Amino acid sequence: MSHSPARPLTKPLARQLWLHAQGLDTSTPFGTGPAATLAATRQLGYVQIDTINVIERSHHHILATRIPGYRREHLAQAQSVDKTVFEYWTHALSYVPVEDYRFYLPAMQQHQTGPRTWYSSVSPEDLRRVIKRIKTEGALSLRDIDDDVLVDKDHAWASRKPSQRALKLAFYDGKLTVSARSGILKTYELTDRHFGWPPRPRTATPNQVTAYLLDRALRSQAVVSLDSICHLDAPSKPAVRALIEQRVKRKTLVPVQLEGEATAYWAEPATLDAVWAPADEGRVHILSPFDPLIIQRKRLQQFFGYAHRFEAYVPAPKRVFALLRATRAAGRLHRRRHRPENRPCGAGLARAEMDLAGRRVRSRQAGHRRSPASFRGLPAWARTRPGTCARPAHQGGGALSF
């Protein structure tokens, strides 16, 4: 890597830069209404999809944290009506802006020609049959296919319908796209018919894909490392590393020395030179475990001094959510054992965050004790259990709790 001198960066400023890039430092960073869904997805680069549902499914939770008045229908409109986002694999299955589709075409083409260990049971005839059926009958979900000869599952997430793997194979090949989603039920449509193609977007070159990965990370993270750019994508690291070196030489990127950390970071000069207003101490967010701020655990700990344990697969009473207050990880929030059927999305989540914003943060170093009662007034799904629910987030200099 380049031997250019690194600019020092304090952790409070590093957190502020990241939160600004994530749209978590102001009340309406992406506006309101359906158009805000696309604006947020553009800024973040993608929104991870996951079917685990505690407060809300992760994709809705991520958007509701950043968009006042967000509703599930807004994402459905973007996917099925406006057709401005599509589903595909990033580091996980995600919603991605359609304008970035060209950067995923190489992966689709590679999927068509590469080894198919997972889909070895899908014959070319199976693939042709499911595509022909959708071409003839229109968009279909797995539930619509009722003439399969059922087979035994070979893993917990499989379906007894063989058509499931044929649909997924056609999806990853780019022949089908998810035209609508209702919970975990996906409706598949011919990709070209859904988007009104041809012509399809022009396939991005390898260099263009590399630049896309770097620019996406700079936009959504502000201060980047090789690991944060290539999260769960080790094969892309050599090309990204070379591009970083080129930009450092051109002085469009500068090395950054994050306070107290040995990891190499980079940022754009304009980002570091900007004047940043003090963070709003009253701003509180309840973050999904799949939120872009939380999902990269090592980065989260380096910036915030907060080690978040992924507990989505443990029993419900042990599941927790990270609490973010201004630029600090303020604690963890437990969900009550029983969640009402009218669980919140958007407005309900915003009300909970506003309730939390009224609580003052106490430092145990100063001799204050935790006060579980300080969570009174939250919706039932978010109240903590006396004595065990408000766990502090450790931040080197002291533990913070409400």
First to last CA, the chain: 43
Domain boundaries, the chain: 7-100+210-273, 123-195, 284-401
| pLDDT per residue of the chain (402 residues) written in tens, 0 to 9 | 556 799 999 999 999 999 999 999 998 999 999 999 999 999 999 999 998 777 789 999 999 999 999 999 999 999 999 999 999 999 999 999 999 999 999 999 999 998 777 788 899 999 999 999 999 999 999 999 998 877 777 766 667 788 999 999 999 999 999 999 998 899 999 999 999 999 999 999 999 999 999 999 999 999 999 999 999 999 999 999 999 999 999 999 999 999 999 999 999 999 999 988 887 777 888 898 899 999 999 999 999 998 887 766 667 666 677 888 778 876 677 655 444 445 546 555 666 666 666 554 443 333 333 333 333 333 433 433 332 233 434 332 222 222
Q: What is the CATH number of domain 123-195?
A: 1.10.10
